[in-house]
Amino acid sequence: MTIADLEYVTDVDDFRRKGCGCVWCKKDKGNPNETHGSGAPIVKHPTTGKDTTYRRPSSAGKPLEDTYHLDLWAKRTVAYGVATTPSIAARIANLDPKEDKAKLNELAEEALVAAKGNQAADLGTELHRVVERLNKGEWTIDDVPELFKADAEAYLAELARHDLSVVPGMVELKVVNDHVRCAGTFDMILRSYLSDLKTGQSIDLAQVGIAVQLAIYRHASIYDIHTDERSDLPPMDSDVGLVVHLPYGTGTCRIVDVDIKAGWEAAQLAAKAKSWNYRKDLFTPREVKDPPKARGSQRIEPVNAPAPAESKTAPEGGPADADKVVALLERAKSNKAVAATVGRWVRDAARAHVDWRIGIEDKFSTERRYALSYVAVDLAEHLCAGADDFKVEDAVARAALAMVIGDDAHQPILAVGGLIGTLTIDQARRLVRIARSARLTFSDDGSPRLIVAA
């Protein structure tokens, strides 16, 4: 038996597909069963009887999935394929990113192939077909090509270890789920568990997608692609499904329980999220209203006009001691973590227009600026600097500030640096005493608490 013997035609035994737009789909547009097959499944709607496009269960969870690492892998692989294939690089160089999008997409796929980015996926697909034939009883282990024999033996051994067997007739079965409009083919039922075979090297980053996929299958109906009739699946566990993880080429296999009760909740949530992609009513052109007509040119004088508001900035006091200013600057610079934290607060204050930078120049060397800079350094040294991230630092600082200025310290509209910039000299001195004497703890919800001895 060779790999070539694994090839078989599936078009006539598959869902009708919405053409994917390639030259083959356009050529065979009159016969949906002979489209390329990468388009969405088409089924008869259960009530209207009209042809309706459904989604694949394998991709139904994508609105909830984090594909960050997968996207990075694809970018790296395509980049490597372009760099190692001069002919692809040359063709890309002659294309326009705006005008030749379709061609660039094709070349990106070529680069992925050139970098062997899909080689493992292709072999994993072939291994999937091997297992399918074992499950259907078409093959025994002796029929399996040598390339896949170690993996096939591991698969059968793992089923035996868990006392699981394939339910006859429940292999590669076409189903539709009308609740979330998905149609696909599940791999098998093992004893009383809806089960899926995964042949990729890792499944850890795909938990949400797999749970959604299995849950959709579990709540689906059997679908006859020739008559478009639906029928019920046999009784199965509704809380737990199984993933048989058989990574190609490793000769290892493990079976994992999947929470499909939670997966069904996620599937319905994903369907709602997906529906938002089709909303076209979120933008409304803004109307320009005619300005009110002027009634003559009579001047209206204000009556009892209030005096101009005074600045809310606290008094700056007199000049600060130059030696103390220099000593404070040196103290802040001596600790990188403290310097970084104080520097960030200073920038926050500048953005909030309450600048309290300190320096030896007269305009930066006032009693109040010295007091605010002093308390910022003390807060950073004793309570904040060195936390895991700046959000924790700021949360601790706000807890300390709240003991001086009240709940306003917790309002997110003003950053910590801006809050420090509102303090008076006396408030700053009180905060210094708190920073030096308070004991830092954390509540059950992770929020910081300061305990100050009476």
pLDDT digit string, tens, across residues 116-143? 655 556 788 899 999 999 999 999 999 9
**Does 308 fall in a domain?**
no
Q: Tell whether 128 and 270 lie within a shared domain.
A: yes
**Does 18 fall in a domain?**
no
pLDDT recorded at residue 66 = 84
pLDDT recorded at residue 188 = 98
Provide the token pair at 382.
């004793």
pLDDT recorded at residue 292 = 67
- Mean pLDDT for each 10-residue chunk of the chain (454 residues)? 34 62 45 49 92 92 86 89 92 92 92 71 86 96 96 98 97 96 96 96 91 97 95 97 96 98 96 88 86 58 48 71 88 87 89 85 84 88 68 84 86 85 89 81 72 66
Q: What is the pLDDT of residues 348-392, one digit of tens each?
A: 888 888 888 888 787 788 888 888 899 888 888 877 655 567 788
Half-sphere exposure of 379 (CA within 13 A, CB side): 29
Contact at 8 Å (CB) between 243 and 210? yes
Q: Tell whether 260 and 182 lie within a shared domain.
A: yes
Q: In the chain, how many domains are there? A: 2
Q: Residue 358 contacts by C-beta under 8 Å, 6 or more apart in sequence?
A: 320, 325, 328, 329, 364, 365, 369, 370, 372, 373
Q: Of 248, 274, 300, which one is at a domain's C-terminal end?
A: 274
Q: Tell whether 236 and 329 lie within a shared domain.
A: no
Q: Tell whether 255 and 364 lie within a shared domain.
A: no
The DSSP-derived string for 85-154 is -HHHHHHHHTS-TTT-HHHHHHHHHHHHHHTTTTHHHHHHHHHHHHHHHHHTTS--GGGS-HHHHHHHHH
Q: Tell whether 436 and 353 lie within a shared domain.
A: yes
DSSP state of 383: I
**Does 416 fall in a domain?**
yes
**Does 170 fall in a domain?**
yes
Q: Tell whether 154 and 262 lie within a shared domain.
A: yes
Q: 238: left (phi > 0), else alpha (psi -120 to 50), else beta?
A: alpha
**Does 168 fall in a domain?**
yes
pLDDT-above-90 percentage for the chain: 43
Q: Tell whether 133 and 229 lie within a shared domain.
A: yes
Q: Tell whether 127 and 270 lie within a shared domain.
A: yes
Q: Of 255, 274, 293, which one is at a domain's C-terminal end?
A: 274
Q: Of 252, 274, 296, which one is at a domain's C-terminal end?
A: 274
Task: Using a cut of 0.75, tell me whether the model's pTM lies above it.
Answer: no
**Does 230 fall in a domain?**
yes
**Does 52 fall in a domain?**
no
pLDDT recorded at residue 239 = 97
pLDDT recorded at residue 287 = 86
Q: Tell whether 267 and 358 lie within a shared domain.
A: no
Contact at 8 Å (CB) between 177 and 183? yes
Q: Tell whether 383 and 446 lie within a shared domain.
A: yes
pLDDT recorded at residue 309 = 40
pLDDT recorded at residue 3 = 34
List the domain range (segments joined by +) for residue 411: 322-451
Identity of the residue numbered 195: S
Contact at 8 Å (CB) between 381 and 335? yes
Contact at 8 Å (CB) between 84 and 212? no
Q: Tell whether 357 and 270 lie within a shared domain.
A: no
Task: Tell me the CATH number at 171.
Answer: 3.90.320.10
Residue-level length of the chain: 454
Phi/psi of residue 320, each to 5°? -85, 155
Q: Tell whether 255 and 353 lie within a shared domain.
A: no
* 313-318: long-range pairs with CB below 8 Å, 24+: 313/354, 314/368, 314/422, 314/423, 314/424, 314/425, 315/368, 315/424, 315/425, 316/366, 316/367, 316/368, 316/369, 317/366, 317/367, 317/368, 317/425, 318/366, 318/367
In angstroms, rounded to a whole number, what is the distance separating the alpha carbons of residues 172 and 382? 64
**Does 371 fall in a domain?**
yes
